[in-house]
Amino acid sequence: MSNLIIGTCGHIDHGKTSLIKALNGFDGDSTKEEKERGITIDLSFSNITKSEKNIAFIDVPGHERLVKNMIAGAFGFDCVLIVVSAFEGIKPQTIEHLEILKLLGVRDAVLVLSKADLISKEELQIKLIDIEEFVASYEFDIKFTMGASIFQEETIEELRDRLFRLEASSKQEENFFRYYVDRAFSLKGAGTVVTGSVLGKPIAVGEKLFICDLQKEIKVKNLQVHERDVEVANISNRAAINISALDAKSVKRGFIISKKGYLRGFKSIDISFNAIADKALHHNRSYSIFIGSKKLDAKVLLFSSQDSLQSGYANIKSDEDIFSIFGEKIIIRDGNESVAGGVVLNPINDPMKKQQKMALLEALDKKDIAKAYELLTEVHKKGLGLISSAQRFALSHSNALKAAKELKNSFIDEKELVIYPLSTKELIYKNIKGIYTKNQYALLSNSSIKLRLKWASEGFIQVVLDELEKEGFLTKEANLYRSSQIKEDFTSSLLNIVLERLEKESLAPTAPYNIYDDLDLDRKMGDDILKSLCAKKQVIRLQHNIFIHHRSLSMIVDAMRGIIKKEGFVDIANLKEKYDLSRKYLIAYLEYLDNFSDISRDANKRVFLGS
Ligand SMILES: Nc1nc2c(ncn2[C@@H]2O[C@H](COP(=O)(O)OP(=O)(O)OP(=O)(O)O)[C@@H](O)[C@H]2O)c(=O)[nH]1
Ligand SMILES: [Mg+2]
């Protein structure tokens, strides 16, 4: 089944809703208020299907106060059905809608002069030419122009036929599923249902999705496309998703649903913009921003010393997180007036100097991804995740990797999909050298170095380790690196170092991982050392992370016995009076007493058996 989303546009009362009804029998003006006032207030959705072709209609209101609802539908159009009354001709909202569609990048159009029954055939011929010329000046690719009337069935039939002959959606398939909610409601017996247009990759029943605005994972319980159950919803499908475990009231129009891990939200994003003729954006002024089906209030900050600009770069600052992607179109309005259209250049807010930011925006504007990577890796010295490329540059992993590979001064970890500037190698080099200079007996593996340099990938660390080995600074044994300067086998001396340390720490021994970190000792190696000390009974393991020297343990056992003798029992309180240790240790020692057959436990007190 091929899919196409056709949305209407045009001035109030020019016959948009009537035309859809004539085409498919669907009455979009269904609410009481819409019926009473005789106008469309909110979006309505319907469709027609013929053989393997499905056309989804989005009908929008024409009222000047309801342009906000029109925009919430228009961002998803593949093609627009421009409805102009043959009787009235072009009117203000015809123009405003055309401007908005142009800014949103909707190119494909069909022009219908409605209410053709109200004028003569000759008049219609003249108007078709005039109005088409006017509409074409907005850079639409007009597929066909015709007159139609809901009272002339043959015109409706012709329109339907010609719509079915249009090509399917040419929306670029994005690299992940993306979907703006345009309605959310609860359905008896089913739970919460949301509707919207699929923008990216398909989704299927049973899949997990992520509501970005709520940072909440949900599951697709059921999927419908135009009231029919389906297993999969594809790009340009109008999909109703029945989601699990969420109250319909908590989901709003404008929320974005995606897959977890793809979209990050930022309160500030950067755009390029073009104002509508005669208008301009003003620096530091509040505007309404329309992005997808979302509307939010935000401040516009211009990247310019001028107070107002016709076109240029701007930063959008909001109190809400904006989950946008590179290239996404936005509409900027001031009250009820559309002012400008923008394109998201930088959906991810990186802290950078203004000059760096300008260079980045210029690169992004030119779609010079290699340059953008170069600038970004300089800011992300500790690694730029290639995963973010889907949001940053609207690129798939493989294309992101391809672009990154063209960079000269960078290291790419293909396994972890991270890219580093080559200068970072110096940083890793210095860090590792530092560890072995400070502690000549350090014995670390790649993964234990990674525990210290959390931001560095194992692949990049390995490059540096190989270099240090080649230079003769480090020697590799199994998977452990030791300083080449130390010739003796110091693994046995490490055993003593650990044992001595535990003896010194007596009743309050440090947890193993902290000891290993202090000694720059690989964790696995450290565990082996403790195991062998335990096997020789030089160290006793009381709990998973309390290892105590055997002499310290005998000493505390004797002391506890002494207390029982004197006071009749030992418990946390009287033990703490003598040994001011943390509860963790006190409890471990008291529990150890339970191993002795002459001692019994009475609630939290330990006493001698038979006393
Ligand atoms: N004579 C004539 N009247 C029509 C035709 N199509 C629609 N109308 C009338 O025009 C009026 C407005 O029609 P709608 O379809 O509600 O117009 P609309 O563009 O959807 O209006 P909004 O959604 O409020 O912007 C209604 O009274 C219709 O009956 C037509 O082909 N011929
Ligand atoms: Mg209508």
| Amino acid letter, 58 | I
pLDDT bucket at 87, cuts 50 / 70 / 90: very high
- Residue whose CA lies nearest to ligand 1 atom number 13: 15
Decide the pairing of beta strands 216-225 and 238-243: antiparallel
Ligand 1 within 6 A of 412 CB?
A: no
Cβ atoms 236, 298 nearer than 8 A:
no
Is residue 54 exposed (0-12), middle (13-18) or buried (19+ Cβ within 10 Å)?
Answer: buried
Which pLDDT score is estimated for 251? 92
Read off the DSSP letter of residue 388. G
Residue 263 predicted with pLDDT over 90: yes
User: How many Å lie between the centroid of ligand 2 and the Cα of residue 60?
Assistant: 6
Ligand 1 within 6 A of 17 CB?
A: yes
Decide the pairing of beta strands 141-147 and 108-114: parallel
Diameter over CA atoms, the chain: 119
Task: Show Cβ contacts of residue 544 under 8 Å, excluding neighbours closer than 6 positions.
Answer: none
Most informative mutation of 18, 57, 66 for ligand 1 (most atoms within 8 A of CB): 18
Read off the DSSP letter of residue 165. T
- Phi/psi at 149 (5° precision): -145, 140
Task: Show Cβ contacts of residue 492 under 8 Å, excluding neighbours closer than 6 positions.
Answer: none
Which pLDDT score is estimated for 611? 66
- The residue among 144, 131, 124 whose CA lies nearest residue 98 is 131
Residue 429 predicted with pLDDT over 90: yes
Is residue 537 exposed (0-12), middle (13-18) or buried (19+ Cβ within 10 Å)?
Answer: exposed
Integer Cα distance of 182 and 238 in angstroms: 10
Residue 359 predicted with pLDDT over 80: yes
Quickly list DSSP for 90-137. Answer: S-HHHHHHHHHHHHHT--EEEEEEE-GGGS-HHHHHHHHHHHHHHHHT
Share of the chain above pLDDT 70, in %: 100
DSSP lists the bridge partners of residue 299 as 286, 317
Which pLDDT score is estimated for 7? 96
Q: What is the mean pLDDT of residues 205-226?
A: 94
Task: Show Cβ contacts of residue 199 under 8 Å, excluding neighbours closer than 6 positions.
Answer: 76, 171, 174, 177, 178, 179, 180, 235
Most informative mutation of 8, 9, 13 for ligand 1 (most atoms within 8 A of CB): 13
Cβ atoms 392, 347 nearer than 8 A:
yes
Ligand 1 within 6 A of 61 CB?
A: yes
Residues with CB under 5 A from ligand 2 (ion): 16-17, 40
User: Tokens 């496309």 sit at which residue?
Assistant: 225
User: Tokens 């044994």 sit at which residue?
Assistant: 477
3-state secondary structure of 272: strand
Q: What is the pLDDT of residues 12-22, one digit of tens each?
A: 999 999 999 99
Q: First-to-last CA distance in the chain?
A: 87
Q: What is the pLDDT of residues 280-318, one digit of tens each?
A: 999 999 999 999 999 999 999 999 888 999 999 999 999
Integer Cα distance of 528 and 291 in angstroms: 57
Calculate the alpha carbon distances from 499 to 72, 508, 509, 523, 524 in Å. Answer: 69, 14, 11, 16, 17
Which is the closest atom of ligand 1 to the Cα of 118? 1
Residue 70 predicted with pLDDT over 80: yes
Is residue 390 exposed (0-12), middle (13-18) or buried (19+ Cβ within 10 Å)?
Answer: buried
User: How many Å lie between the centroid of ligand 2 and the Cα of residue 61?
Assistant: 5
Q: Which of 389-393, 443-447, 516-520, 561-565 has the highest mean pLDDT?
A: 561-565
Angle, helices 153-164 vs 16-24, to 10°: value is: 80
User: Tokens 């505007």 sit at which residue?
Assistant: 287
- Residue whose CA lies nearest to ligand 1 atom number 29: 18
DSSP lists the bridge partners of residue 80 as 7, 109
Least-confidence region, from 343-352, 390-399, 419-428, 556-565: 390-399
Q: What is the mean pLDDT of residues 419-433?
A: 92
- The residue among 72, 18, 324 whose CA lies nearest residue 183 is 72
Read off the DSSP letter of residue 237. -
User: How many Å lie between the centroid of ligand 1 and the Cα of residue 38?
Assistant: 9
Residue 171 predicted with pLDDT over 80: no
- Residue whose CA lies nearest to ligand 1 atom number 11: 13
Integer Cα distance of 67 and 322 in angstroms: 21
